[in-house]
């Protein structure tokens, strides 16, 4: 049975988790992973299976509740939030897409936690009962705390003229090798190393189509709403960056409190230019958070009604998430610039926040080319793209 059995129980545990993440975040960056003892506490609290139905041992919380939890963690430590969001998304996609046999097998372990990547450098041999895989996946966020790892592989089309199949293949982490390649400018604590398979056999029931996936025939709502598309992944990045931006604005004000202008002797926080800069950043952050909340509220209401997402809902969810990431990075920069020269201290918080805000803007789910995908569909140039 899960350690935490309701969202109310999780809320009671969030405060100490957030406090510890804030205290230890710099150490996670230095070690290039979330410390094992803290990773265990996150999993024991149910953070990795917020979106897993209670019938499978999860908390069964809503997407809006999940968003709030991830933003709280991100305010404390962006790496903690990103690996937690990624683990939760992977679990949600398994609930929506995988065979019942794998779902039951995985979630029988209350500390099961999954991590995968869509960047394969692998060779795959298809067998009747599964896949034989050798090679690497890059950027497998959270692999150091995962019980199951792997990634997406590309298989031949099912029929002539069809697109190649994209399938996720997963195995227990003991069957794989984590290659410590992760040495980034920011988000160092995510442990986004390479994962290597050396002639590993993956049984067919541990594979499932993604992102162009239909829900598993026996998957129930609301989890069914998580597929198809990448919009779900985008929201993990957005939650992380909204929390990161919130922290940056608060830290900038703390940095300026008590500081005086060099020539006038007036408090820096009283300067009109400072107020214009910070308040415009506040407005931008508020609008991004509100847009994402509205998009996820609409998604979740459809899920509760047992309805698949409309084209408009998927477009809105993806665009709201991409905008939250891109503009939150801008908010962090605005806060950093407003704080002045003291923000550049290597030991300071704002310096680390600025570096962290430079990473997920390039992520496949939240980068600027994402607007091209959604724009072509919204304008009627393309049909709905499964990558949205």
- Rounded to whole angstroms, how far apart are CA atoms 295 and 289? 10
The residue among 214 and 352 whose pLDDT is bigger is: 352
Give per-residue pLDDT as tens, 330-357: 999 999 999 988 888 888 899 999 999 9
C-alpha–C-alpha distance, residues 179 and 195, integer Å: 6
* pLDDT the model gives residue 303: 96
For residue 39, the model assigns a pLDDT of 97
**Residue 5 has what pLDDT?**
55
* Structural domains in the chain plus CATH codes: 7-107 (1.10.540.10), 116-209 (2.40.110.10), 229-378 (1.20.140.10)
Q: Pick the residue with more confidence: 33 or 267?
A: 33
User: What pLDDT is attached to residue 171?
Assistant: 98
Mean model confidence pLDDT for the chain: 93
Cα-based distances in Å from 115 to 136, 140, 178, 210, 226:
14, 6, 12, 14, 17
Going by C-alpha positions, the residue among 150, 92, 146 that lies closest to residue 118 is 150
CA-CA distance, 23 to 19, in Å (whole number)? 6
* pLDDT of amino acid 3: 47
* C-alpha R_g of the chain: 21
pLDDT of residue 386: 77
pTM over 0.85: yes
pLDDT of residue 266: 84
């Amino acid at each position: 049975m899960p350690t935490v059995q309701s969202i109310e129980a999780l809320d009671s545990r969030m405060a100490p988790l957030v406090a510890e993440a804030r205290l230890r975040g710099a150490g996670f960056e230095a070690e290039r992973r979330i410390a094992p003892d803290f990773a265990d506490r996150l999993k024991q609290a149910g953070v990795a299976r917020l979106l897993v139905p209670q019938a499978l041992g999860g908390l069964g919380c809503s997407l809006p509740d999940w968003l709030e939890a991830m933003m709280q963690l991100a305010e404390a430590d962006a790496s903690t939030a990103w690996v937690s969001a990624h683990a939760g998304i992977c679990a949600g996609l398994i609930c929506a897409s995988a065979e019942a046999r794998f779902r039951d097998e995985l979630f029988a372990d209350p500390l099961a936690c999954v991590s995968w990547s869509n960047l394969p450098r692998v060779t795959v041999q298809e067998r009747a009962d599964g896949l034989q895989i050798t090679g690497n996946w890059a950027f497998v966020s959270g692999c150091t705390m995962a019980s199951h790892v792997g990634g997406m592989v590309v298989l031949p089309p099912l029929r002539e003229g069809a697109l190649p199949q994209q399938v996720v293949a997963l195995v227990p982490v003991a069957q794989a090798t984590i290659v410590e390649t992760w040495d980034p400018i920011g988000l160092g604590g995510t442990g986004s190393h390479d994962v290597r398979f050396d002639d590993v056999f993956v049984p067919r029931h541990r594979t499932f189509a993604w992102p162009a996936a239909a829900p598993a025939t026996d998957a129930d709502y609301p989890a069914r709403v998580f597929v198809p598309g990448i919009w779900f992944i985008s929201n993990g990045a957005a939650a992380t960056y909204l929390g990161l931006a919130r922290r940056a604005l608060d830290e900038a004000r703390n940095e300026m409190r008590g500081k005086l202008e060099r020539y006038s002797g007036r408090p820096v926080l009283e300067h009109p230019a400072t107020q214009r800069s910070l308040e415009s950043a506040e407005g931008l952050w508020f609008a991004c958070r509100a847009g994402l909340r509205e998009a996820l509220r609409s998604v979740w209401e459809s899920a509760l009604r047992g309805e698949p997402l409309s084209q408009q809902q998927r477009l809105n969810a993806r665009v709201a998430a991409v905008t939250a990431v891109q503009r939150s990075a801008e908010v962090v920069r605005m806060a950093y610039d407003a704080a002045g020269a003291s923000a550049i201290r290597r030991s300071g918080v704002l310096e680390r926040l600025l570096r962290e805000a430079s990473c997920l803007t390039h992520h496949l789910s939240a980068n600027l080319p994402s607007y091209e995908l959604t724009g072509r569909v919204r304008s009627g140039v393309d049909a709905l793209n499964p990558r949205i």
